[in-house]
């Protein structure tokens, strides 16, 4: 791997730490502290998450339609600055309506950053024949989650919930400086080499993309229930003994290597088959706390969830790029928009249902059912991988 490719990879990882691991998912671990301070309901907690995911949906739709060409890097830098500001400003107000706006803007920037950073890094890896390293790039989300889980509790103990948001933003500024240094424009000659990219002969045809988008959208709807509420479930459980924030740490730690593992499995056994299996495995992890919320069950659920949710994203986005490698930021934008639509609906439905039933049990059952249906949507794509599966025997 040459120096520029390595720098792109590290810069992309840092971008995901800022936008996804902290800007987007740190809300999950800070949420119980905010609820404890302001005593707002599960429904409001869900609506705040939905506001973020509405922004993510809008951002994904817009990113998919933008003609960025050689403007991706300055666009990425502006979006990162905005993401850091929305994280910081969460600590400067206690007005719920302002939180709605900030979470919306944070989601908007997360989608921009995810789509643009992914297209920059994946394009660079493809140019250098290192596409198999995409799993390393996506591990940035897990790193950000694990990091926020480790530092949120001690920061909260000193600076309260609002100081936690500000401290996380300050940390993001340090990462942003490295991103500016590492991600710089590629020379025109190198860009030209990558412009001849063709669809993988082992990938399903372009017409099958609709099934991938449907499955990935249902994944967004189902996974986000656990992604939003698992720390709160641990916090509220009388049979859970331990630090609820550590549950989120388990999610992050499991997520870090998961992208590489699932990517390797996909290369060997086929992307559609691996995606289907990973979604079914995730469904098992999500439904576990519906039966019991003791310490062991929640840690197992957190581990399975962490080990799958970013792996699924890695495999799905890599598969999409194999099917349609030209204008990768556009197809990633459309795929991410479907995912964002699902995860926008999920927290509100789950929060309202949990409020009504005074339990997260039915929300978890529903989330699992949705993910299983999504996995079944992929079955028609298995026939395109018969040749590649035979080659592995």
Question: Is the CA virtual torsion 66, 72, 77, 80 positive or negative?
Answer: positive
Lowest mean pLDDT among 199-208, 210-219, 302-311, 352-361: 199-208
Domain residue ranges of the chain, discontinuous segments joined by +: 3-183+205-391
Q: How many CB atoms lie within 10 A of CB 262?
A: 27
Return the structure tokens found at 168. Answer: 């996380």
Q: Quick one: how many helices (H) and strands (E) in the chain?
A: 14, 0
For residue 391, pLDDT beyond 50: no
Q: What is the pLDDT of residue 172?
A: 97
Res. 205 pLDDT band, cuts 50 70 90: confident
Query: How high is the pLDDT of residue 65?
Result: 79
Q: Is the pLDDT of residue 242 over 90?
A: no
| Mean pLDDT within 105-126 | 91
d(CA 227, CA 232): 10
Longest dimension (CA), the chain: 62
CATH number for the domain whose boundaries are 3-183+205-391: 1.20.1250.20
Q: CA torsion sign, 145 to 151 to 155 to 156?
A: positive
Pick the range with the lowest mean pLDDT from 118-122, 262-266, 270-274, 369-373: 118-122
The pLDDT score that the predictor gives to residue 187 is 67
Query: What is the spatial distance between Cα 172 and Cα 175, in angstroms, rounded to a whole number?
Result: 5
For residues 106 and 38, what is the distance between their CA atoms, to the nearest angstrom? 21
**Residue 279 predicted with pLDDT over 70:** yes
pLDDT at 390: 40
Q: Is the pLDDT of residue 195 over 50?
A: no
* Cα 382 to chain centroid, rounded: 25
- Whether 306 and 142 have beta carbons less than 8 Å apart is answered as yes
> Rounded to whole angstroms, how far apart are CA atoms 194 and 74?
21
Token pair 């500000």 in the structure block, residue = 166
Q: Is the pLDDT of residue 17 over 60?
A: yes
Sequence-ordered list of residues with C-beta below 8 angstroms from that of 173, at least 6 positions apart, any chain: 84
pLDDT exceeds 90 at position 113: yes
pLDDT at 386: 65
Residue given tokens 């559609």 in the structure block: 272
């Amino acid at each position: 791997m040459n120096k520029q490719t390595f720098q792109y990879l590290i810069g992309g990882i840092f971008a995901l730490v800022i936008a996804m691991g902290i800007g987007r998912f740190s809300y999950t671990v800070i949420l119980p502290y905010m609820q404890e301070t302001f005593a707002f309901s599960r429904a409001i907690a869900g609506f705040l998450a939905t506001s973020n995911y509405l922004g993510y949906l809008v951002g994904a739709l817009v990113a998919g339609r933008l003609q960025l060409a050689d403007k991706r890097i300055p666009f990425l830098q502006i979006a990162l600055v905005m993401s850091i500001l929305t994280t910081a400003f969460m600590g400067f107000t206690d007005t719920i309506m302002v939180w709605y706006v900030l979470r919306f803007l944070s989601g908007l920037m997360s989608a921009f950053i995810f789509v643009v950073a992914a297209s920059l890094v994946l394009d660079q890896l493809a140019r250098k024949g290192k596409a198999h390293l995409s799993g390393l790039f996506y591990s940035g989300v897990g790193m950000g989650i694990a990091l926020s889980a480790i530092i949120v509790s001690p920061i909260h103990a000193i600076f309260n919930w609002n100081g936690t948001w500000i401290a996380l933003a300050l940390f993001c500024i340090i990462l942003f400086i490295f991103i500016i240094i590492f991600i710089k424009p590629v020379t025109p000659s190198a860009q030209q080499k990558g412009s001849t990219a063709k669809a993988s002969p082992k990938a399903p045809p372009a017409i099958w993309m609709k099934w991938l988008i449907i499955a990935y959208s249902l994944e967004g709807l189902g996974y986000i229930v656990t992604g939003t509420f698992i720390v709160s479930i641990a916090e509220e459980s009388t049979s859970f003994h331990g630090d609820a924030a550590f549950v989120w740490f388990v999610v992050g730690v499991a997520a870090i290597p998961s992208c590489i593992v699932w990517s390797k499995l996909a290369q060997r056994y086929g992307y559609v088959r691996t995606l289907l299996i990973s979604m079914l495995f995730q469904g098992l992890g999500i439904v576990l706390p519906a039966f019991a919320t003791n310490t062991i069950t929640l840690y197992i659920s957190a581990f399975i969830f962490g080990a799958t949710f970013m792996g699924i994203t890695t495999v799905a986005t890599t598969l999409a790029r194999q099917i349609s490698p030209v204008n990768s930021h556009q197809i990633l934008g459309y795929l991410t928009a479907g995912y964002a639509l699902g995860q926008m609906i999920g927290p509100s439905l789950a929060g309202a249902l949990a409020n009504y039933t005074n339990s997260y049990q039915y929300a978890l059952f529903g989330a699992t059912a949705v993910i299983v249906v999504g996995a079944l949507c992929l079955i028609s794509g298995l026939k395109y991988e018969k040749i590649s599966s035979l080659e592995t025997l």
